[in-house]
Chains A and B, each alone.
Chain A
Amino acid sequence: MTSRFESVSVVREGLGKVDYLADDGIAGVVFLADRLGKPVLVEGPAGTGKTQLAKSVAEILGARLIRLQCYEGLDEAKALYEWNYKKQLLRIQAERNTKDSGQTWDDMSDDIFSSEFLMTRPLLEAIRADDPVVLLIDEVDRVEMETEALLLEILSDYQVSIPELGTIAAKQIPLVFLTSNNTRELSEALKRRCLFLHIDYPDIERERQIVLTKVPDISEHLADQVARIVRTIRNLELKKSPSVSETLDWANTLILLGVQNITEAEAVDTLHILLKYQTDIAKAAKELTSTPSKFQKTS
């Protein structure tokens, strides 16, 4: 199998071209995932670009993104495959009506347990794919242990046995991303199987770049101010820090309001877009509008 990427910087630059600003850490792990043929488990606070990473990697590869959105109660039938029993029943009914068809039960069974009646779910779809795909298993921390075990099995062998059809093996090892908001600890076995990538809030430089890239018509000056204020707010001890998506929402709002330079009043009036909790908003407002005590003498 040939590798998908030449080097770490190729990954990073490629992602940049599709408006995903990665750092060397992120690009390095994506690069390695391809070379080692291993899935990546991406963990970190909400809204830091975990899901987007998988989408953007698919985009630079020109690969089809297959997404399995996890939720509590997700089971094999929804993740892997399911027989379309309604259609099967209809077929049996139809057979009965056209009496002397001469079909034996064996024929019938072969017939109704064929691909035509198989409902392919994302995992099987990824395994059967002939074209390049990227498999995204989103928010994997939401599924139950049993489903996690199923995922592990698939990610270890990249094959599925369907009793009625036999074993289907992947023709290629797809790039796989699993994301987790860490609402629960995943099994050690799954973690061992994966490469681990923690995506935290970006540093100020990267955040400024993200804002510049993602917010139409924003000036360098405003993007810089946005990134700085967000950094200051993240350094406070808050119940919930602003995420990248909240930074972007905020920047977009400021543009809509025609702001070119953020003043205290404008910052305070729009803080609710960055922060969710009233106590956090109050705290941030106070911090942003009072002179740092050590400099009061100069002002």
Chain B
Amino acid sequence: MTLVEDGPAPAEIGQPILELLNGFVMELRSAGIPVSLTENLDAMVAVKHIPLEDREAFKYALAATMVKNQNHWKAFETVFEIYFSIRGSEYDLKNQDDNAEGDNEDSQDEGEGEGEGEGPGSGGGGGRQMTPEELAQMLYNALMTGDQGLMRMVAKVSVRRFAGMEPGRPVGGTYYLYRTLRNLDLDGIMAKLMEQAHEQVGGEMTPLEQRLANDEYEARVDQLRKEIEAEIRRRLVADRGVEAMAKTLRKPLPEDVDFMHASREEMVKLRRAIYPLTRKLAVRLQRKRLHGRRGALDFRNTVRHSLSYGGVPAEPKFRRPRPKKPEIMIVADISGSVAAFARFTLHLVYAISGQFSRVRAFVFIDGLDEVTKFFEGTEDIIDAVHRVNTEADVVWVDGHSDYGHAFEVFWERYGKEITPRTTVLILGDARNNYHSSQSWIIKEIRSKARSVFWLNPEPRSYWDTGDSIVGEYGQYCNGTFECRNLRQLEGFVDNLA
């Protein structure tokens, strides 16, 4: 590490920040973010050059040295907010007095040299308890003006007043956030703000103006919500310490999010994560094809080229490898809980469809329908998947998964089209609602196809419990795989081609 020599001697940094950084890096690793030794060292140098008071720059500098995948940013930010949040006695839970006399002074000299510049307008305070009307007015003003200092003040006071935080209670921040927001009547305030906006322009607002005003206030409400969350987090950290809080708030990285239990927010992140993933996969497989398999030596072509080297066959030419590409048939359960998994798998397989001579897709719940045509001739896989969900005819009786019946239909209609070059992928949790399994069909398919794989989005420990009969089907497959998250799915698809 000779990189440190340059530059003027960085300001002497007290031990605490390096200690803090140490714990911080450990937590990043626990959260699944890979931080190498070099990167850790870079971070240690970085904090010497950018003071913690330059919060945004400091945060980005840390991320720049250790977080090299944008999908991990959110996880990084959460840990950052915990480890480097402003601390001080004012956040002590025993201190619930909402005006917290003189708390502005307090926050400056407590803690370990941190301290965030408070925006203008935060100076409120004063010894007197604020009345509910005064608080409501301050909230209204904060949203009206978008003043950050005011928002922070509102957040501070309302968390103290409404969140009902108790020392040592092991609940996460969401519960307190909910309790605080419930008392603020934000919907009512939004309506009032919009009315005010109407009056300002003399009562006549075009739809566009309304939309823009609405979005602006929503952005401010969102910002207020973030301030409240930050306030709650600071107090939780003060109460329980950074390690405990970090552990409580730890969430899986997008590639590790469970398909079956993803929240809406996580779904959005998953959808975003899948694009780079598919591109990456496509490129990797493309290269594998090009480099991995060389055809036989093309004698004629080699001689022809040797003429330009004076007859020396300096550049051997190979026949274009023409390995037979397999054909894929995907048979996917798209009922409720496994729908997301089916969508991601379809997306991923179609993204690399160039690797196969043909990809055909069939979806089922208790009835089955071929949806290949939705994917053909479109660039837009999301759109195709959407059409699958809305247009495919997959309900036969009652819309509860019936694998047995779906397989019957599949076998009857498409069985004869399975050839020794066909790979069949079956996607689903094999929860058959106690219908008959018709597993003989899988056996038949296996005997005709090149291979049959079953991908199950449930954890392996749940397999064959309750109405899951994956074991019964699995005995006839070439393999059964747990595919609970993008990481596992990517691994499987990568090996498929």
Give A residues with C-beta under 8 Å from B: 1-3, 8, 23-29, 31-32, 34-38, 40-41, 43, 144-145, 182-185, 191-192, 194-198, 204, 225, 228-229, 231-232, 235, 239, 262-264, 267, 279, 287-292, 294-295, 298-299
Contact = CB atoms under 8 A, between A and B. Distances in A.
Contacts of B56: 23-25, 28
B42 A185 contact: no
Contacts of B67: 196
B206 interface: yes
A232 B215 contact: yes
Sort A-B residue pairs by CB-CB distance and give the 7 closest, nearest first.
A28-B57, A24-B56, A25-B60, A195-B64, A191-B68, A1-B6, A185-B280
Contact of B36 (A2, A145, A184, A192): A192
14 contacts: A24-B55, A28-B60, A28-B61, A32-B64, A38-B42, A41-B68, A185-B280, A192-B38, A196-B67, A262-B208, A263-B206, A263-B208, A279-B383, A294-B191
B54 A28 contact: yes
Given A28-B57, A192-B68, A294-B191, 9 more contacts: A25-B57, A28-B60, A29-B60, A36-B46, A182-B276, A183-B283, A196-B65, A232-B215, A295-B214
Contact of B194 (A32, A183, A298): A298
B58 interface: yes
A191 B38 CA distance: 11
Interface string B42-78: 1001100110001111111101110110100100000
A287 B211 contact: yes
B218 to A, nearest CB: 9
B435 interface: no
Interface string B378-408: 0010110000000000000000000000000
Residue of B195, B207, B214 with most partner-chain A CB within 10 A: B207
Contacts of B64: 28-29, 32, 40, 195-197
A25 B59 contact: yes
A61 B324 CA distance: 57
A288 B182 CA distance: 31
A151 to B, nearest CB: 16
A287 B73 CA distance: 30
A24 B207 CA distance: 36
A68 B130 CA distance: 62
B58 A295 contact: no
A31 B215 contact: no
Given A8-B57, A232-B215, A295-B194, A183 B287 contact: no
A198 B49 contact: no
Nearest to B277: A185
B216 interface: yes
A27 B207 contact: no
Nearest to A266: B208
Contact of B3 (A36, A279, A289): A36
A282 B59 CA distance: 39
B207 A298 contact: no
B351 to A, nearest CB: 13
Interface string B185-200: 0000001001100100
A145 B56 CA distance: 34
Contact of A184 (B55, B215, B280): B280
A198 B64 CA distance: 9
Interface string B201-214: 00001111011101
Interface in B16-38: 36, 38
Contacts of A32: 46, 49-50, 61, 64-65
B279 interface: yes
Residue of A23, A28, A38 with most partner-chain B CB within 10 A: A28
B8 interface: yes
Contacts of B49: 31-32, 35-36
Contacts of A196: 63-65, 67-68
B212 A291 contact: no
Contact of B210 (A34, A239, A267, A292): A292
Nearest to A277: B380
B287 A36 contact: no
A264 B212 contact: no
A145 B210 CA distance: 51
A117 B4 CA distance: 38
Contacts of B6: 1-3, 35, 37
B197 to A, nearest CB: 10
B466 interface: no
Contacts of A185: 276, 280
B135 to A, nearest CB: 25
A264 B206 contact: yes
Contacts of A182: 70, 276, 279
B42 A36 contact: yes
Given A3-B8, A36-B46, A231-B215, A184 B57 contact: no
B39 interface: yes
B7 interface: yes
Residue of B46, B206, B276 with most partner-chain A CB within 10 A: B46
Contacts of A34: 7
Contacts of B191: 294
Interface in B286-324: 287
Contacts of A144: 287
Contact of B54 (A24, A225, A294): A24
Nearest to B198: A298
Nearest to B275: A182
Interface string B223-237: 000000000000000
B77 to A, nearest CB: 12
Contacts of A195: 42, 64-65
Contact of B60 (A24, A184, A232, A287): A24
A184 B212 contact: no
B212 A228 contact: yes
A275 B162 CA distance: 44
B182 to A, nearest CB: 19
A290 B211 CA distance: 8
A40 B382 CA distance: 33
B45 A36 contact: yes
